[in-house]
Amino acid sequence: MFIDSLTFEDLKKGKYDDLKREVFENYSQKPSFKDRKVSFENDTLDLDRNEFSRDRDRIIFSKAFRRLEHKAQVYSHLKGDHYRTRLTHTIEVMQIARSIARNLGLNEDLTEAIALGHDIGHTPFGHQGEEVLDNIMRGTDNLGGNLKYRINYYGFKHNFESIKVLDILEKKYEKEKGLNLTWQVIEGILKHTKTKKKGQKWDINRFIQCKKYIEKFLRYPDHSVTLEGQIVTIADEIAQRQHDLDDGLRDNDLKLDVNKIISYINEQIINIQNQLKKDTFNITDLDEKYYKQFSSYIKNSTPKDVLTKDMIIKYKLSEKRTIDYELWDKIVMDSFIVEYVVPDKIEIKLLRELETRIKKNKNCKNETYIWNSLIRDIIDYFIKDVTFNSLDKLKNDVKTHCKLQLVNLDYINCNKNNEIQSGNKKYWKKRKYFDSKIIDFSYSASEFDKNIESYIKNQILNSYNVNVFDGKAIYIVRQLFKAFYTNPRQMPKEQLNKLYQGIVETINLSNCNIILHGKKLEEIEFKTSPPMDINQLIKLLKLEFNKEELELIFKKTFPGNHLDLNYHFLKLIGGDYSSINKDCKKCDDQFNKKVIEKIFDKINIITVNDIPYEIEELQQQIIFIKCLLELHYVYLSIICDHIAGMTDNYANNEYKKLYLV
């Protein structure tokens, strides 16, 4: 059983080792070849390599991983050899994550694999490149009118692109796409950062082969369902704080003073300690009527418990209860025997230890040593805090939040059509997953993290150098997309092959082989077809045919049926026509464009396998338009994949080749 309380004295007595063993035995993920999309038992002698270590090695030896070397984190590698790139950031995340996993007794191989793959889908030039692609794929940026219609394909985000790279784009097998990683690695990479943001969402079905492979785990979109995945999330946060601060100090143009930073940090530590004094009190001998009311909010509370507002809020979120803050204030104000205290907790001792170490190192005469010691002490503090706070949560909360699901793992495997398949051989396993965030900072460390993040945003990310770099990034990525969109033959042959394969797969999936100038689309190839046919294909992929031309293409594709992309068709399929000016002349091009865009909006959200209309003619019309939209998406996504896979150097050189004479 878990120890009742976690203190330094307990750790000295060796209970920490017992706790780690219990965590490993009961809550760490155990590797199994059955956890892969395509599972086969390894029949070679592999000594001490398990399924998670295989995943780690597959990621390390992938082409996408090597490209991280020349992708920017905050600064370009051209600024200097010692600034972090996306690769060095990944390595630091891996090391921090592995330390935490080892401290907690969790699976280090799984943690490493998730950490090494977490940013593998990142764009060149950092987050600015990502935002450009996201805006294009949401239809909010039409590249200055180059995209005729604004269609929302639910955006682009690097964690989704990471799983696409590993599950689809990378090549390892002759007949299978992707690296065939275990679901634990894929799920941890996906959720190392947000899967929803300010009401926006990304469609996972666009980024993974087997649609049901990970679907059930998206019921908890805000955190990984494995503790190892949660470790990588927090390790990513720690790594960003320490190396952004370190790189900012290295940038002489910013003229940051390490002693001023230390003074700022010490001030924040004091503020956090003072805040803890205000928010913490003993409820010993509270008036009985108030205590009974108050205790209804806290599970198993006693008059001797030490409670904080932070604990109340977390309990409120986990139990979905409302907190009567007026009652809270009344308890504090009316109870004269309330004693304000700072509890003797590990999180407070760690904060004080950090404060002592920083003050001690500040007295050193060597500024480089002070600087390096500051970064080291911050990392050490965060790792220890996450370790002890998570152990405390495991001790108290794990029985409530660890779910054991008995699953026939044969049903996880996908066949060639990306459908769940079952086998004759039953393979049952207790799969562990967590329905809440267990691996996390304490209140103190969370506040400290916010303070450092605020300093970095204001003093480093808001600087002239960083903003000039970001501005160039936005411009170059937009110009590259514009060039490839205008003429995809400016992309390498490999990308054109992927585009052709995507066209064929879309046609087969929608069962709609469009006839274009007397030829089926799959008969038009970028390598061998006449330029006129290729130009017509590109025009179709860009949705640049006008209303009459689209209706004519439909008529040749479905002889005996006709398509009218007009106001009445929009109303027939239940589209939103309220914002269209009904007084516009129907021959007006702008009116027709608005109508067609609304038709596209409506049909875009319908899945290919779920056409909700029984009339055959209407079905054919919707299938045709859906196929057009999916072809347009394939076109955009191939360009996204190509640009996202570029290094900063490659993107810069491509821009020069495309635009400079």
Task: Extract the tokens encoding 395.
Answer: 């001790």
pLDDT at 31 exceeding the cut of 80:
yes
Q: How confident is the model at residue 566 (pLDDT cuts 50, 70, 90)?
A: confident
| Chain segment 632-644, per-residue pLDDT in tens | 999 999 999 999 9
Taking Cα atoms as reference points, which of 635, 603, 442 lies closest to residue 537? Answer: 635
Place of tokens 């029985």: 399
Residue 591 has pLDDT above 90, yes or no: no
How many of the other CB atoms lie within 10 Å of CB of 476? 24
287 closest CA partner among 322, 330, 321: 330
Q: In the structure, what pLDDT confidence band is assigned to residue 103 with cuts at 50, 70 and 90?
A: very high
The mean pLDDT value for 529-544 works out to: 94
Following DSSP, what letter does each residue of 345-379 receive, concatenated? -HHHHHHHHHHHHHHHHHT-S-HHHHHHHHHHHHH
pLDDT at 338 > cutoff 70 = no
Of residues 40 and 287, more confidently modeled: 40
Scan for tokens 């031309």, then name that residue.
Answer: 549
* % helix, strand, coil for the chain, step of 5: 60, 5, 35
Residue 340 pairs with which residues in a beta bridge? 281
371 token code pair: 């600087």
Percent of the chain with pLDDT over 70: 77
pLDDT for 58? 95
- Least confident range from 251-260, 472-481, 496-505, 599-608: namely 599-608
Cα radius of gyration rounded to whole Å, the chain: 29
> Does the pLDDT of residue 202 top 50, yes or no?
yes
* Cβ atoms < 10 Å from Cβ of 656: 10
Judge contact between 35 and 217, C-beta under 8 A: no
Q: Which residues pair with 307 in a beta bridge?
A: 281
Contact status, residue 316 vs residue 336, Cβ threshold 8 Å: no
Assess whether pLDDT exceeds 90 at residue 308: no
Residue 539 · residue 583 · CB < 8 Å: no
Minimum mean pLDDT among 1-10, 130-139, 235-244: which range?
Answer: 1-10
Buried b (16+ CB within 10 A) or exposed e, 590-629: ebbebbbbbbbbbbbebeeeebebeeeebebbbbbbbbbb
The CB density around residue 460, as the number of other CB atoms within 10 Å, is: 20
- Structure confidence by residue, pLDDT tens digits, 55-67: 999 999 999 999 9
Is residue 634 within 8 A of residue 502, CB to CB? The reply is yes
30-254+366-471 falls under which CATH superfamily?
Answer: Hypothetical protein af1432 (1.10.3210.10)
For residue 87, give Cα distances in angstroms to 90, 93, 459, 477, 499.
5, 10, 24, 20, 29
Helix-helix angle 367-401:346-362, to 10 degrees: 170
d(CA 174, CA 116): 24
Strands (E), 577-634: none
Span 573-590, pLDDT tens digits: 887 777 776 656 555 677
| 345 confidence band (pLDDT: 50, 70, 90) | low
pLDDT at 121: 94
Q: What is the mean pLDDT of residues 452-456?
A: 93
Residue 425 pLDDT greater than 70, yes or no: no
**Contact status, residue 31 vs residue 50, Cβ threshold 8 Å:** yes
Half-sphere exposure of 163 (CA within 13 A, CB side): 29
Phi first, then psi, for residue 626 (nearest 5°) are -60, -40
pLDDT at site 134: 94
**Burial of 645: CB neighbours in 10 Å, binned 0-12, 13-18, 19+:** buried
Of the pLDDT bands very low, low, confident and very high (cuts 50, 70, 90), residue 318 is very low
Q: What is the mean pLDDT of the chain?
A: 81
Q: Would you state the pLDDT for residue 545?
A: 92
How sure is the predictor about 287, in pLDDT bands with cuts at 50, 70 and 90? very low
- Amino acid 366: pLDDT: 79
Question: Does position 51 have pLDDT exceeding 80, yes or no?
Answer: yes
* Domain locations in the chain as residue ranges: 30-254+366-471, 258-362, 487-659
pLDDT tier at 40, thresholds 50, 70, 90: low
The whole-model pTM stands at: 0.85
- More confident: 469 or 424: 469
* 96 within 8 A of 232, measured Cβ to Cβ: no
